[in-house]
Structure 1
Amino acid sequence: MTAQPNEDTPPDPPSRRVEFAELLEAEFVRRWPGRSVGLDAVHRYAMIPPGKLLRPSLVLHAALAVGGELGAVLPAAVGVEGAHVGSLLHDDIIDRDTQRRGRAAVHTEFGPAQAVVAGNALFFSWFAALSECRRLGVPADRVERAMAVQAEAGVAICRGAFDELAMRGDLELGVGAYVAMARAKTAVLLAAACRVGAILGGGDAPTTELLGEFGDHLGICFQIRDDVLPYDPIAARTMGKPSDSDVRNRRPTLPVLIAHRRADPKGRAALRHALLDETEPELALCRIRAVLERTGALDTAHAMADEYARRARALLTRLPATAQVAHVRALALLTRPAH
């Protein structure tokens, strides 16, 4: 097998990422043009401008890595981003967050009922996208296998979201329970994006599974990074959504769980009060940050995220060292913090 680059080498030039982002956004505009009304207008607002586009990029890169054609799998990439955005519409209602991506959340702009319906429609669009891939020449057996992956992932995502609700206020959770929730809530969709791209692109079963494992590790890394952001004062200002959401919703994220396990009785009491009893979210956030700093919980959480990213990159050393595989690997480096 051709020698692989060292894991710490810089990511590939951003030209391909920019190219994919432009391609995807152009496709969003084509599907939801400026003259859209009704449900389409809500979808346009939710989808444009887009977010990081990690999930649709995984679909496209995985397909190309196994020799697939970009045009034939593009609808599947749009579909997975639709499913992701649909989940955000519902999350914002559940969490009572009024902002998303630096502007009013969909339920704030259009109403909660409209946001629920729009989210549901985006979930269905994920499956409709596979029919488009079939019309573009993807063999029926591949579409059928991709459909099964998506259906299984959809149920798992809902289970993860349900479990997260049950975990509210529980500071005794172990790290293992957190990882299981993060896997179902977040990593499952990234793994599905990789598997669907590989299946539609014609990848064999071992390669498809390997890419799915890559997406799983990447997803857990991504969720940990997201959980750390509210407790970094600099990063919190650029989140695009309320930094106090986890605190308001009594969500015991990984750094808080680590801090609670390490803290002395006084520190544990401070965490419990801040998460469960404090009525001022900003004050609670400040008090939790103080305990996280004293216990080194943020550094540990970052190290765990780094380890999951390392595992993700290491998996790809089992594949031929092609330019397309290098592009997939570079996506794991995008989870690194900017500072």
Structure 2
Amino acid sequence: MQDVTEILGKYSDNINSEMKTSLSNISPDELKEASIYLTKAGGKMLRPSLTILTCESVGGNISNASKSAAAIELIHTFSLIHDDIMDDDDIRRGKPSVHKVWGDSVAILAGDTLFSKAFELVISAKDDVVSGDSIHEALATVADACVKICEGQACDMSFEGDFNVKEEEYLDMIFKKTAALIAAATKTGAIVGGATPEQISALYEYGRLIGLAFQIQDDYLDLVSDEESLGKPVGSDIVEGKMTLIIVNALEKASPKDNQKLVEILKSDNCSQNDIDKAMEIIEKYNSLQYITNLAQEYVKKAKELLEILEDSEAKKALILIADYVLKRQN
């Protein structure tokens, strides 16, 4: 875990510098402060680091990928701001969320500004060491991910109160909402690094698989982690009646009686600790936690196998470590 923390921290200064430069000329000041607020609050820097690492893994260097990496982080931040507005969440990265500080209208504009600046950053890389054709392909990749993020959020919202969601539908939703941007990060890095079409395809799939595993691990941690590590009450997904892969799997396997009881708990507006415990009994009865753990492990195993297309390098080693980290992290 420490190795991965060091890997992700290795590129943070460069990424933050690119973002700071990009956002420096925003006006008025209120919009600028709202826009840069979350970029200064920290974060894992997983996505932009993957962009740089995949670039390096195919023979490129940090100068090829730094602007695209920063763009990926801006898009991630834009999505967080808008998610917090839609979910009315109070806290993000340990601080009051943007819309709680500046209000919904300014927060929406801040998200839109970050979204636009991201595309500006990708385009500006052409002035450095990336070919026009590569910039065009990178732009298309980033744009596609942005559309998928919106589709995924819409699907997630449509699942609220729908307890007949199937596994295939849920996996498609988390691909779009979470994994698509991670896949875009790895694909963009490969593109600007000068990868072959086969390498680009493999690294996109690597990103897709670890992105799916990342979200499945989030679902898992909500039920098995401790509150201090998780940063929110354990079992909050049950309290909020969220459809996660664990719930989807348990409902599909459960007897009519257990299915009905679990749905009653998920629908409840006053979910008690006893209700959470009962829901966990049903989940454990049908081995749903083990099922999603096995699925996430299979995704990570396949993701690492895809890296065999790359020459041995420190970047390749880092990509392997990050794939393992997705399942070992505790928050």
- Tell whether the structures are fold-level matches, with TM greater than 0.5: yes
Query: 1: distance between equivalents of 2:269 and 2:277?
Result: 11
Aligned counterpart in structure 2 of residue 49 of structure 1, from 41, 48, 54: 41
**Superposed displacement of residue 285, structure 1:** 4.3
**Superposed displacement of residue 103, structure 1:** 2.3
Aligned counterpart in structure 1 of residue 324 of structure 2, from 296, 312, 333: 333
Query: 2: distance between equivalents of 1:136 and 1:116?
Result: 31
Query: 2: distance between equivalents of 1:109 and 1:246?
Result: 25
Query: 2:69 aligned with 1:102, yes or no?
Result: no
Which whole-Å deviations, capped at 9, do the CAs of 1:66-100 have from their partners, x for residues lacking one? 11121232111111011011111111121222112
SS in 1 for 2:164: coil
Counterpart in the other structure of 1:256: 247
**Superposed displacement of residue 248, structure 1:** 5.9
Give the number of equivalent residue pairs.
Answer: 328
**Superposed displacement of residue 214, structure 1:** 0.4
Query: 2:159 aligned with 1:167, yes or no?
Result: yes
Which whole-Å deviations, capped at 9, do the CAs of 1:130-177 have from their partners, x for residues lacking one? 122111221111101111111122112211111111112222222111
Specify the code of the residue in structure 2 equivalent to 1:273.
E
Task: Quickly say closer, same or farther: Cα 1:98–1:281, change in 2 above 3 A.
Answer: farther
Within 5 Å, which residues of 2 pair with 1:156-235?
156-234=148-226
Query: 2:230 aligned with 1:239, yes or no?
Result: yes
SS in 2 for 1:336: helix
Query: 2: distance between equivalents of 1:158 and 1:303?
Result: 28
Within 5 Å, which residues of 2 pair with 1:1-339?
15-28=6-19, 37-234=29-226, 236-240=227-231, 246-247=237-238, 250-280=241-271, 285-338=276-329
TM-score, with structure 1 as normaliser: 0.88
Structure 2: which 5+ residue stretches go unaligned?
A: none
Task: Quickly say closer, same or farther: Cα 1:232–1:102, change in 2 above 3 A.
Answer: farther
Query: 1: distance between equivalents of 2:88 and 2:238?
Result: 12
SS in 1 for 2:327: coil
**Superposed displacement of residue 25, structure 1:** 3.7
Q: What is the aligned-residue RMSD (CA, Å)?
A: 2.5
Structure 1: which 5+ residue stretches go unaligned?
A: 1-9
Task: Quickly say closer, same or farther: Cα 1:25–1:243, change in 2 above 3 A.
Answer: farther
Task: Quickly say closer, same or farther: Cα 1:106–1:288, change in 2 above 3 A.
Answer: farther
Which whole-Å deviations, capped at 9, do the CAs of 1:182-232 have from their partners, x for residues lacking one? 111111111111111111111121111110010010110011111222212
TM-score, with structure 2 as normaliser: 0.90
Which whole-Å deviations, capped at 9, do the CAs of 1:262-305 have from their partners, x for residues lacking one? 33333222211121233347665454334323332222212211
